[in-house]
């Protein structure tokens, strides 16, 4: 048996690849375009594992995707591949439309053609799992109930709009063509292999480098934080037992303001790798102009996946964050490699000099 994963060299995708191969005997075909956030070093530990078959390529390349499907005959496709950073989508939305909307369309068409040609049992067992985000639901007021699976879509950034569009395509291919799909909406992930443009790895990287820790606005934007390996376990459970055509919210039950996250990171770094001058890392916190259209609060109601599929996160925010900091401290070479000149240029462009 085989599964096909798109975007399996990125942050969540590579964590899923590691989790899958640690738990399953099945072959995993990993298709990744290797844009700036896709990194083969994320998969270095799998060198020599004949269950992992990596292919560099674009989900929009229908010839390549069709060949992979015909050759490997996967029983499932898990779709992680996406442009995913809100800030980058504000500066350059075209890549997000091309990958998240057009790319997902081409992938769905390739998968539909493959699925349509399968025999009875194989066709019935096939699944397409689309990994999406809670950002498609927009922003919540401080006292509003958390996002449920039936919450209205209200995307506010080019990124979230492009992911909402991909969700709608997946839903339409199920209802129109019968493609057996599952969709998940996750909250903010954190953990190993996270590219340091996102809040937690950026703060760790900048703190250790003695740089300012840029905090948008007043830092009171609230997010629900989910340890990435908990997310991977949830996805495996949804693939195993999720109901066709259904969506499942995956959250960490950890709502935290950004400034609290940053201060907690600073305290952990004070403990695990103190500054040479004895000062607190929190002294590096710097407030910068808020980004355009910044959503104030996200929160996930993850009761459905717990009640139907028995999944609940294992890590607390405190335990997951400690593991994350320890991973980055132990993998300084990985961080050094991914924070290239182009990364530094991006930080300057986005946060100012």
Asked if the model's pLDDT at residue 21 lies above 80, the reply is yes
Torsional sign, CA 10, 91, 341, 280: negative
Q: Is residue 6 part of a domain?
A: yes
Q: Is 111 contained in some domain? A: yes
307 within 8 A of 233, measured Cβ to Cβ: no
Report the alpha-carbon distance of residue 8 to residue 31 in Å, rounded: 6
283: number of Cβ within 10 Å: 11
Closest listed residue to residue 104, CA positions, set 171, 175, 155, 12: 171
Q: How many structural domains does the chain have? A: 1
Do residues 101 and 123 lie in contact, with contact meaning Cβ atoms separated by under 8 Å?
no
Give 125-175 pLDDT, tens digit per residue. Answer: 999 999 999 999 999 999 999 999 999 999 999 999 999 999 999 999 999
- 287: pLDDT strictly greater than 70: yes
Tokens of 161: 């709009």
- From the candidates 32, 58, 87, 135, which is the catalytic residue? 135
> Does a structural domain hold residue 232?
yes
SS3 state of residue 209:
coil
Is residue 86 pLDDT above 60, yes or no?
Answer: yes
Domain that holds residue 147: 2-189+228-253+294-314
The active-site residue out of 58, 114, 159, 248 is 159
* Helix, strand or coil, per DSSP, at residue 34: coil
Residue 209 lies in a domain: no
Which of 134, 230, 255, 315 is flagged as catalytic? Answer: 134
Confidence band of 353 (pLDDT split at 50, 70, 90):
very low
CA torsion, points 135, 224, 186, 311, in degrees to nearest 10?
Answer: -160
Has 318 been annotated as catalytic?
no
Overall size of the chain counted in residues: 353
**Which range, of 34-38, 224-228, 256-260, 348-352, averages the lowest pLDDT?**
348-352
- pLDDT digits over 199-208, tens only? 999 999 999 9
- pTM, two decimals, is 0.94
CATH of the domain at 113: 3.40.50.720
Average pLDDT, the chain: 95
Is there a contact between 6 and 31 (Cβ–Cβ < 8 Å)?
yes
In the annotation, is 328 catalytic? no
Q: State phi, psi for 2 to the nearest 5 degrees.
A: -145, 150
In a domain, 83, yes or no: yes
User: On the CB side of 80, how many CA atoms lie within 13 Å of its CA?
Assistant: 26
- Annotation marks residue 260 as catalytic: no
* Nearest C-alpha neighbor of 296 from the set 143, 187, 139, 156: 139
Q: Where do runs of H (alpha helix) occur along the chain? A: 11-23, 62-72, 86-91, 94-96, 104-116, 120-125, 158-177, 199-208, 228-241, 258-272, 303-309, 317-330, 332-338, 341-351
Q: Characterize 161-174 residue by residue with b for buried, 16 or more Cβ atoms within 10 angstroms of its Cβ, and e for exposed.
A: bbbbbbbebbbebb
For residue 189, is pLDDT > 80?
A: yes
Share of the chain above pLDDT 70, in %: 96
Residue 156, pLDDT score: 95
Contact in structure between 50 and 349 (CB atoms under 8 Å): no
């Amino acid at each position: 048996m085989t599964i096909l994963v798109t975007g399996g060299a990125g942050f969540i995708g590579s964590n899923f690849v590691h989790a899958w191969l640690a738990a399953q005997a099945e072959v995993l075909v990993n298709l990744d375009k290797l844009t700036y956030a896709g990194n083969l070093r994320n998969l270095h530990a799998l060198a020599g594992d004949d269950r992992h078959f990596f292919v560099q390529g674009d989900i929009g390349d229908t010839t390549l995707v069709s060949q992979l499907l015909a050759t490997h005959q996967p029983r499932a496709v898990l779709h992680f591949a996406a442009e995913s950073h809100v800030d980058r989508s504000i500066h350059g939305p075209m890549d997000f439309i091309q990958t998240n909307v057009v790319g997902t369309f081409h992938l769905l068409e390739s998968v539909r053609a493959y699925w349509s040609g399968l025999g009875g049992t194989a066709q019935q067992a096939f699944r397409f799992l689309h990994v999406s985000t809670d950002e498609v639901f927009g922003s919540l007021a401080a006292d509003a109930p958390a996002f449920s699976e039936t919450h209205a879509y209200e995307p506010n950034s080019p990124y979230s709009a492009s992911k909402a569009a991909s969700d709608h395509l997946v839903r339409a291919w199920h209802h129109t063509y019968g493609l057996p799909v599952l969709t998940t909406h996750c909250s903010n992930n954190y953990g190993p292999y996270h590219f340091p443009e996102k809040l937690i790895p950026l703060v760790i990287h900048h703190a250790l480098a003695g740089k300012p820790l840029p905090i948008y606005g007043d830092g009171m934007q609230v997010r629900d934080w989910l340890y990435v390996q908990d997310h991977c376990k949830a996805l495996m459970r949804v693939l195993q037992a999720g109901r066709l055509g259904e969506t499942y919210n995956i959250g960490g039950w950890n709502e935290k303001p950004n400034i609290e996250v940053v201060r907690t990171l600073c305290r952990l770094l004070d403990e695990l790798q103190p500054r040479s001058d004895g000062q607190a890392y929190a002294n590096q916190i710097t407030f910068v102009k808020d980004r355009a259209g910044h959503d104030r609060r996200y929160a996930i109601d993850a009761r459905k996946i717990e009640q139907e599929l028995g999944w609940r996160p294992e890590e607390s925010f405190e335990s997951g964050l400690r593991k994350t900091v320890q991973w980055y401290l132990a993998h300084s070479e990985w961080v050094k490699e991914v924070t290239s000149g182009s990364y530094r240029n991006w930080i300057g462009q986005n946060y100012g000099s």
